[in-house]
């Protein structure tokens, strides 16, 4: 299976891979078919993602997409972050093999779940 240099770099050197104890929103998603499990943590300040991190149990593509979505989303408003699509993640990694596209789905879904969790727990 051919992975882009960006996928290999994010797999070997994942960015923002850590738990976040004081997260404002947490999204947990998984794919029971392949066994990938992903948790995305966000810290929100002034309606923007000020910090984001992840913990992923899964294949190299799942780790790479988790890492990449943290780079794409940081600094964006919550609305901008919600608009990040599954294809955006794959494109930023210079593509994924078709059999691994579900991994980019997990990363985008995890971010959306974290934002939804933030809204649920921070309604005034």
Q: Which of 7, 61, 93, 103 is catalytic?
A: 103
Instruction: Tell me, yes or no, if 34 is annotated catalytic.
Output: yes
Q: How far apart are CA 85 and CA 56, in angstroms?
A: 19
Q: Which of 26, 34, 59, 82 is catalytic?
A: 34
Instruction: Tell me, yes or no, if 59 is annotated catalytic.
Output: no
Indicate which residues carry an active-site annotation: 34, 103
């Amino acid at each position: 299976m051919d992975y882009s240099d960006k996928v290999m770099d994010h797999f070997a050197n994942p960015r923002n891979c850590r738990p976040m104890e004081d997260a404002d929103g947490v999204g947990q998603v998984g794919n029971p078919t392949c066994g990938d499990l992903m948790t995305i943590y966000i810290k929100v300040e002034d309606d923007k993602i000020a910090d984001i991190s992840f913990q992923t149990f899964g294949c190299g593509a799942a780790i790479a997409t988790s890492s990449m979505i943290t780079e794409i989303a940081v600094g964006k408003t919550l609305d901008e972050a919600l608009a990040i699509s599954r294809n955006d993640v794959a494109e930023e990694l210079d593509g994924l093999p078709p059999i691994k596209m579900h991994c980019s789905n997990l990363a985008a879904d995890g971010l959306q779940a974290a934002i939804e969790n933030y809204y649920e727990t921070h309604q005034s």
